[in-house]
Structure 1
Amino acid sequence: MPPSIGRSAIPPLHRPWDPDDSPDFHASRLLLLLAECGSQPGPHIAGRTKLAKLDFFLRYPIFLERAHRALADEVHHETAFRAFMPEEVEAPMIRYRFGPWDPRYRQFLAFLAARELITVTTSHKPERVRLTAKGKQAATTLAAMDEFRPIVMRCHAMRGNLADWSGTDLKDLVYRLFPAEVAELAYHQEIRP
């Protein structure tokens, strides 16, 4: 019997489970990002460019650490972030037109919207991805779980600094700080630290 939508399939014995294959994993990370780094009212994040660039720093802790070091004058010392496992990449992204991107964002947002955890408001420019009351409750539950502590810590490290930047400013920062790893890559190439 095939697994239902929203449930992870048990991988074959010859292949370990990869969280990058799980919509639940990506949905959980995006819920935490919205809850911890979103603007009010909402919380919400304005535009997919901003969503993707903040998600980039969640997925690649070493790039978050390097951004904090590069922006030491602008980032408060109490929020400076240090990657505990610098080689860690939670889920790889690719280089696309506006920097780091995951071509599955539409799928992830549809997954969350279908479960009434977010709304996507296109009447604003850029569009707003906003948590619903149900989404806030789910994010609160996730944030209290030990498994999500590293993601919550990275979100907290972006509050008051990167989370306040526009999507365009974040894109420009990524290109400036990571030319070899991002800016100089051909489209659709996987980003590696």
Structure 2
Amino acid sequence: MLVTPPDAAAPAPVASRADGRPPSADAQARLLLLIDVFSETKRGNGIEGRMKLAKLDFLLRYPGHFKRLLAIRRPGTDVGEDPWLTGAIEQSMIRYRYGPWDPAYYALLGALTGKGLIGPKHEDAVATYRTTAAGHGLALALAETESWRPVRDRARLLRQHFNLSGIKLKDLIYETFPDIVEADWGTHL
């Protein structure tokens, strides 16, 4: 999968995950689509904070949890096609201080930033992630493919029904899924 803008002259250096391997192209594409959907609103602010990004990504990666939380928040809403038809998640998230977290976020966000696909902005110790023009173009191209269209559709449902603060999302997840709260730090979800 190509996750480099077509007009890029030379590949940017790639950050590595905690295990030393480079971030996967699929994980980069998933985050790019998620960030792009939140960047295309009228205000176009993107996603404010890593906590919000992690909780939205959790709901994107775990369709069963998404369906359950949506049924509680917005009963009767059509959840659309599952983005992960095989049910396989590339790498499970872990229970961390504020709920679900993936240690690969730093490498993934670094890779997307290094490739010029997202432009993080830092204000008052809060990072906001939004797509650049190149990132938006690539996200649109990905969304036109059969395999990534359901991911974009699910990200749009997240924006429509869960565009809340990171803390509010964390609280919803904690209230709905006590097994996550009770899990020890570092436990794979």
Does the pair score TM above 0.5? yes
For residue 68 of structure 1, the aligned residue among 46, 67, 70 is 70
4+ residue runs over 6 A deviation: none
Give the Cα separation in 2 of the matches to 1:126 and 1:23.
Answer: 25
- Matched residue pairs, number? 169
Q: Counterpart of 1:122 in 2: which secondary structure?
A: strand
**Aligned-residue CA RMSD in angstroms?**
2.4
- Equivalent residue for 1:188? 186
Q: TM-score, normalised by structure 2?
A: 0.80
For residue 61 of structure 2, the aligned residue among 55, 59, 62 is 59
- Equivalent residue for 2:5? none
Give the Cα separation in 2 of the matches to 1:127 and 1:110.
Answer: 13
Query: CA offsets, 1:122-172, max 9 Å, x none?
Result: 12552101110100001000110111122122112213211x211000001
Q: Counterpart of 1:119 in 2: which secondary structure?
A: coil
Q: TM-score, normalised by structure 1?
A: 0.78
| Percent of aligned pairs sharing the same letter | 35
Q: Counterpart of 2:120 in 1: which secondary structure?
A: strand
State how 1:31-50 maps to structure 2 within 5 Å. 31-38=32-39, 39-50=41-52
Query: CA offsets, 1:28-74, max 9 Å, x none?
Result: 0011101123455445100000000000011000111000111136x
Q: 1:111: Cα distance to partner?
A: 0.4
- Equivalent residue for 2:164? 165
User: Cα gap change, 1:86/1:97 in structure 2, threshold over 3 Å: closer, same or farther?
Assistant: farther
Give the Cα separation in 2 of the matches to 1:119 and 1:178.
Answer: 33
- Equivalent residue for 2:150? 150
Q: 1:113: Cα distance to partner?
A: 0.7
Give the Cα separation in 2 of the matches to 1:161 and 1:103.
Answer: 26
Gaps of 5+ in 1: 7-20
Q: Which has the higher contact order (CA 8 A, sep 6+)?
A: 2
User: Cα gap change, 1:42/1:124 in structure 2, threshold over 3 Å: closer, same or farther?
Assistant: farther
User: Cα gap change, 1:150/1:83 in structure 2, threshold over 3 Å: closer, same or farther?
Assistant: closer
